[in-house]
Amino acid sequence: MKGFIMNHKKGLAIFGILLLIFVILCIFVWGFLFPDGSKSEYGNRLDGIDKVRISNDKLKKLETELEGHDFVKSADAYITGRIINVMIDVNDGTDVATAKALTEVVKSNFSEDELAFYDTQVYLTNEGNSESSYPYIGYKHRTESDFFWTNNQ
């Protein structure tokens, strides 16, 4: 064994260096493909969310108020990161302008601080009528006061 090492010093040194480079490269690729799972997927974008946290009770109250309208079949509200998502399914024959007016109900259920922290998305659908002009998506950035709507034409 000692004779083998003495006769192949140069080859073993090159093999050792290549093996070290390969291990370092594998560690780098592993870190790139599998990032640290303990870090938040949102980074620091959610800093300050504890000061304006919206409770599930408030979201349920919004759903109940929306479902109180005769032309609303169902409503669902949930939060993802800094976005309040509101899904509203309306009855057949509901005018788009009437359905869009529900955004005032959505805005009235949140405080100024909450609206200034969270973006808001409203999805208007009509599952029963495949020929209708629905769906519509309204989006309100936290710095804006009004919703902007998709052009469904």
Q: Write out the chain's pLDDT in tens, 153 residues.
A: 777 777 788 888 999 999 999 999 999 998 888 777 666 666 778 888 889 999 999 999 999 999 999 999 999 999 999 999 999 999 988 888 999 999 999 999 999 999 999 999 999 998 766 666 788 999 999 999 999 998 765
Helix (H) or strand (E) run with residue 6 in it: helix 2-7
pLDDT of residue 2: 75
Residue 55, token pair as written in the block: 């409770």
Nearest to 21 by CA among 32, 29, 10, 33: 29
How large is the greatest C-alpha to C-alpha distance in the chain, in angstroms?
92
Contacts of 147 (CB under 8 A, 6+ apart): 100, 103, 120, 122, 138, 139, 140
Q: How far is CA 75 from CA 6, 90, 91, 125, 139, in A?
A: 78, 9, 12, 10, 17
pLDDT of residue 44: 77
pLDDT of residue 127: 76
Strand boundaries in the chain, DSSP class E: 72-80, 83-90, 119-125, 136-140, 148-149
pLDDT of residue 148: 94
Domain locations along the chain: 2-33, 49-149
Distance CA 39, CA 103 (A): 34
How many CA atoms, within 13 angstroms, populate the side-chain half-sphere of residue 93? 2
Instruction: Specify the 3-state DSSP secondary structure of 41.
Output: coil
The CATH T-level fold of domain 49-149 is Alpha-Beta Plaits (3.30.70)
pLDDT of residue 14: 93
Contacts of 84 (CB under 8 A, 6+ apart): 54, 77, 106, 110, 118, 119, 120, 121
Distance CA 110, CA 83 (A): 13
